């Protein structure tokens, strides 16, 4: 499943990933979404479907921490495998990957750690939902809402009102997207949307002439296009996506922080499983 989703995303948005600012933003958003989707589906039903068994085992002396730890280990292996598959599929489809490393010295390893952390964070959130939900139906009903929250509040992809911006800190997609953009050196990439939009107006006539078309012909003849794209990008750089190890460390810390929070919350919730009504 992870391979199919990665393949679809690579096919649809992989062309300009880590090549242009717009392609990178869209692509990293899509990669974050794949991770959240994979993470959610890994564990959304694992606890709620055997809730009664957990209750029985808890009565017989099962420690909830051991139970959650067992799930954490299994899910970690699953998430590592999914992250590796996603990267393998992207590389097989000749998608451009980050070429410079910020943390480990190996850009692909940095990239995979980010993908793993986002997937694992979403996985643990789904594990928490699964711990709270009494039935699989409830868990599967809550999941789409959580998915929408993760997508809408990813921060940099959709323009949100100011009062909603603090909520973006709650989502794994925001930290995943930010880390991936930083690793792909987003701020050094050209911006093409302004040029492309202006190009659409080249046939506009003023007093029987096409001054914009003339200007484009002049710029392309003199090889000014790339320079203009870079100049446009310079005006649209985002300090949050700076090619800086501090940015990546910060994003990873947030992802790990949320993962730990979800795990602790799941343990606390399950400690009260004996209170379930018959």
Question: What 8-state DSSP symbol labels residue 1?
Answer: -
Q: Is 81 in the site for another protein (CB under 8 A)?
A: no
Kindly tell me which residue out of 12, 56, 99, 141 binds another protein, with binding defined by CB under 8 A: 56
Q: How far is the CB of 132 from another protein (least distance, A)?
A: 17
Under the binding rule (CB under 8 A), the answer on residue 4 touching another protein is no
Q: Which residues of 137-162 are buried (b: 16+ CB within 10 A; e: fewer)?
A: eebeebbeebbeebbbbbbbbeebee
Task: Tell me how many residues contact another protein (CB under 8 A).
Answer: 13
Of 252, 251, 244, 256, residue with least CA distance to 102? 244
Q: Which residue from 161, 197, 206, 239 is in contact with another protein, where contact means CB under 8 A?
A: 161
> In Å, how far from its chain's centre is CA 166?
18
Could you say which of 22, 57, 244, 271 contacts another protein (CB under 8 A)? 57
81 CA to centre of own chain: 17
Q: What Å distances lie between residue 81 and 48, 110, 177, 272, 273, CA to CA?
A: 24, 16, 20, 33, 31
- Is residue 105 involved in binding another protein (CB under 8 A)? no
Shortest Å, Cβ 62 to another protein: 6
Helices then strands, counting H and E runs in the chain, come out as: 11, 0
Quote the least distance from Cβ 50 to another protein, whole Å: 7
Question: In this chain, which stretch among 4-12, 60-68, 185-193, 210-218 interacts with another protein, using CB under 8 A?
Answer: 60-68
Q: Please report the DSSP string for 205-239 in residue order.
A: -BTTB-HHHHHHHHHHHTT-HHHHHHHHHHHT--G
Of 148 and 204, which has the nearer Cβ to another protein?
148
Q: Which of these ranges, 48-56, 118-126, 184-192, 248-256, lies near another protein under the rule CB under 8 A?
A: 48-56
Minimum CB distance to another protein, residue 60 (Å): 5
Distance CA 17, CA 25 (A): 8
Q: Segment contacting another protein (CB under 8 A): 57-65, 111-119, 143-151, 248-256?
A: 57-65
| Cα radius of gyration rounded to whole Å, the chain | 23
Give the interface with another protein as residue ranges (CB under 8 A). Answer: 50, 52-53, 55-57, 59-62, 161, 274, 278
């Amino acid at each position: 499943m992870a391979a199919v989703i990665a393949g679809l995303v690579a096919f649809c948005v992989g062309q300009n990933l880590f090549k242009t600012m717009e392609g990178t933003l869209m692509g990293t958003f899509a990669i974050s979404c794949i991770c959240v989707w994979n993470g959610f589906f890994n564990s959304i039903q694992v606890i709620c479907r055997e809730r009664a068994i957990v209750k029985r085992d808890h009565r017989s002396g099962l420690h909830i921490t051991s139970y959650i730890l067992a799930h954490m280990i299994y899910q970690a292996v699953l998430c590592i495998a999914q992250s590796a598959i996603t990267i393998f599929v992207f590389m097989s489809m000749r998608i451009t990957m980050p070429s410079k490393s910020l943390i480990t010295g190996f850009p692909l390893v940095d990239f995979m750690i980010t993908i793993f952390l986002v997937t694992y964070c979403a996985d643990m959130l789904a594990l928490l939902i699964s711990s709270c939900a009494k039935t699989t139906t409830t868990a599967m009903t809550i999941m789409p809402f959580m998915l929408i929250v993760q997508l809408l509040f990813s921060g940099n992809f959709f323009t949100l009102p100011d009062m909603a911006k603090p909520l973006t800190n709650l989502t794994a997609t925001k930290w995943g997207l930010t880390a991936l953009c930083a690793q792909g050196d987003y701020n050094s990439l050209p911006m093409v949307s302004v040029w492309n939009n202006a190009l659409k107006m080249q046939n506009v006539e003023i007093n029987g002439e096409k001054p914009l078309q003339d200007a484009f012909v002049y710029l392309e003849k003199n090889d000014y296009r790339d320079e203009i794209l870079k100049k446009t990008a310079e005006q649209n750089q985002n300090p949050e996506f700076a090619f800086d190890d501090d940015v990546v460390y910060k994003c990873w810390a947030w992802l790990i922080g949320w993962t730990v929070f979800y795990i602790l919350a799941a343990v606390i919730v399950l400690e009260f499983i004996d209170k379930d009504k018959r």
